[in-house]
Amino acid sequence: MIALDTNILVHAHRKDASLHVEARAKVQQIAETAAPWHICYHSLIEFYGIVTHPKIWAQPSSPHIAADQIAAWRESPSLRILTELPEHIEHVMALAEATKVSGPMIHDARIASCCLTHGIRELWTIDRDFSRFTELRTHNPLI
C-alpha cells in the first residue's frame, strides 16, 4: 500500500511546478486504478496551504481551485484519506525523538507516523528527508 506526499500533489496540480507533467501523469495513473492509494489528511491541508500561498507562487491557486482539486482526487473510488488516530500524537513524538526531528521537520514525522499507524509502508515523495524514517520506504516516482 502506498501514500502520496504533499510535494507530489503540489507538482501534479501546479502547471508551473518543475515536475508537473510527470507528477500529473503518476497521480492520474494511480487514481484510475482499482488498487487502493492513500493521502494523509494533513497532506491535503498542507497542499491547500502551499498552492494558495502568495509568497510561493506568482499566481497562487485560488482557494476555490485548490478545493476543487482536492475534491477531484477524492472522487477516485480507490483513494483512502488517512486520518489521525487518538494515539497518533504519542507515535509522532516517539518517532520525532527516535529520529532527532525538530522544528519544521515535525510535519514530516507527522506524515510518516500517519502512514505507519495505518499500515502504509511506502510513501511516494521527492523529499529525501523522509529517509530518516526507516520503517517507511520512500519512492520518488518522478525520476
Domain boundaries, the chain: 2-139
Cell reading at 68: 476543487
Confidence of residue 87 (pLDDT cuts 50, 70, 90): confident
pTM for the structure as a whole: 0.94
Cell reading at 18: 518543475
Cell reading at 56: 510561493
pLDDT digits (tens, 9 = 90+) for 13-42: 999 999 999 999 999 999 999 999 999 999
| CATH fold group of domain 2-139 | Rossmann fold (3.40.50)
